[in-house]
Structure 1
Amino acid sequence: MIQIEGIEGLPEVGAGDDIAELVARSGVKVADGDILVVTSKIVSKAEGRVRQGESRAEAIEEETERVVARRGDLVIAETRHGFVMAAAGVDASNTEPGTILLLPEDSDASARRIRAGIRERLGADVGVIVSDTFGRPWRHGLTDLAIGAAGVRPLEDHRGQSDPYGNPLNATVTALIDEIAAAAELAKGKLAGIPIAIVRGLPHLITETDGPGITALLRPAGDDLFRHGSADVVYA
């Protein structure tokens, strides 16, 4: 059985705060095999990725490695991390007025630090996922995806197996950490002030090492059929 519990009552996170320490102080029970899903916004705040009085448009330009599509003020961009997302991940929500948040410099490294901190303070061997909100082509609505991970198997490769009818699976690779990130958002929510959720019941996905992190999910440019985005960019 899979259980998801949001950690309530955490204080506002500021630069220099230790997220693992905040979890330890919360009093919530953390056990071997749990997976902590941490909203990237508090990681950005803890790591000082907050800008005051800076133009959001300028920040988007600085964080953009490649523009995929643009329409009016909306920019879909690839960041230097390899993520394709709106506004290059620059966000003005859930932060004080007049400030904007940038993505963590290296969310895999952030996840590794949190994982090591939980092991040190609580003696628990857990997995950690750093999540952020993404839109999706061809579908309305947003969902959370993983942008960093440590100690969690990122993918489940079913290629070479057969379904119950005997049909071979030739292309089925499940993005496990994305599925966990999206499920955890049901417990965190966007407005409830709950930035961390604990997912229980998936101990078989915990790995002894930190693992490859988000790198395993990033599609190489040569395999990306939609790399050039909309006709707006192609013709430009």
Structure 2
Amino acid sequence: MALTLTPIPGIPLIYPGDDLGEIIYKKTIESHLEPKPGDIWVIAQKIVSKSENRIINIQTIVPSARAFEIANKTLKDPRFVELVLRESKTVLRQKPGALIVEHKNGFICANAGIDHSNVESSQENPEDWVLLLPEDADKSAQYIRAKLENLFKMPFGVLIIDSHGRAWRNGTVGTSIGLSGLPAVVDLRGKPDLFGFKLKITQVGAADELAAAASLVMGQADESQPVILASGFPYQLREGSMKELIRDEKEDLFR
């Protein structure tokens, strides 16, 4: 079966309190698209964060002494740094122009995923508004999935993705930050390869692979395609979570 990725057209600008499940359902029906049981809805983090009112004005933030210290090293606004610290467990790397942290949800990323791009605000001084990641993206995915399954009367998976950089490589890639109803990792250990030898270490980051593929269709600028319907996912669906993708610190050779 081929994997197909279909953008849902007409998704409007999202504002705090908007019901993403209702909006996705309405626009899917209007577009005469017909999802199938087992399809996966891949959703851009930004519209999830906006619907959950994760928009913050940095003018309201009072930096701590530590934020000022890190801001001097990274040449970033200390109010922005303070927000990053509040969203993080640990600061891993800092240098001019870069602040790498362990997000409080466990994954490693720059600036705790806080972003200003594609953050629209009608308020005064729109450049002061930034967008935080969802408080718990797995729970966000569970909520949206329950709504879509109720509306369409069939089972789905939901994957929330963001664009993250990678160690040792240039460029951002679509990455999972929350999911429901699909595996994050598929364990192929013990399966035979082409010549009958059993795989010993192969575990596929299936959710991240789908995130990267869907991100190509979404785009990164003004494409306005934040929801992708994925059909033909090549692995069996099951309950999964982001925790599957987080390498235990004891096994991390590069910290």
TM-score, scaled to structure 1? 0.90
1:214 is the counterpart of 2:242: yes
Which is worse superposed, 116-125 or 174-183?
Answer: 116-125
1:133 to 163, 168, 187: 163
Could you tell me which residue of structure 2 aligns to residue 107 of structure 1?
137
Q: Is the 8 A contact 1:152 1:206 kept in 2?
A: yes
Matches of 1:201 and 1:114, distance apart in 2: 20
Q: Is the 8 A contact 2:3 2:234 kept in 1?
A: no
| Structure ID, larger Rg | 2
Could you tell me which residue of structure 2 aligns to residue 35 of structure 1?
40
Q: What is the RMSD of the two structures over their aligned residues, measured on CA atoms?
A: 1.5
1:92 is the counterpart of 2:116: yes
Give how far 1:30 is off: 2.4
Identity of aligned residues (%): 36
Deviations 1:75-113 (A, max 9, x none): 010011001001111111110232101110100000000
Could you tell me which residue of structure 1 aligns to residue 74 of structure 2?
none
TM-score, scaled to structure 2? 0.84
Q: Is the 8 A contact 2:5 2:231 kept in 1?
A: yes
Could you tell me which residue of structure 2 aligns to residue 155 of structure 1?
185
Matches of 2:226 and 2:114, distance apart in 1: 18
1:143 is the counterpart of 2:173: yes
Query: What is the correspondence of 1:215-230 to structure 2 with a 5 Å cutoff?
Result: 215-227=243-255
Letter of the 2:18 counterpart: D
Structure 2: 5+ residue runs without aligned partners? 60-78, 121-125
Could you tell me which residue of structure 2 aligns to residue 46 of structure 1?
51
Deviations 1:176-233 (A, max 9, x none): 11001111112111120111101011275323xxx23111111111111112xxxxxx
Could you tell me which residue of structure 2 aligns to residue 198 of structure 1?
229
Structure 1: 5+ residue runs without aligned partners? 228-236
Give how far 1:155 is off: 1.6
Matches of 2:104 and 2:198, distance apart in 1: 37
Q: Is the 8 A contact 1:32 1:203 kept in 2?
A: no
Could you tell me which residue of structure 2 aligns to residue 170 of structure 1?
200
Could you tell me which residue of structure 2 aligns to residue 78 of structure 1?
102
SS in 2 for 1:140: strand
SS in 1 for 2:145: helix
SS in 1 for 2:175: strand
SS in 2 for 1:205: coil
Could you tell me which residue of structure 1 aligns to residue 5 of structure 2?
4
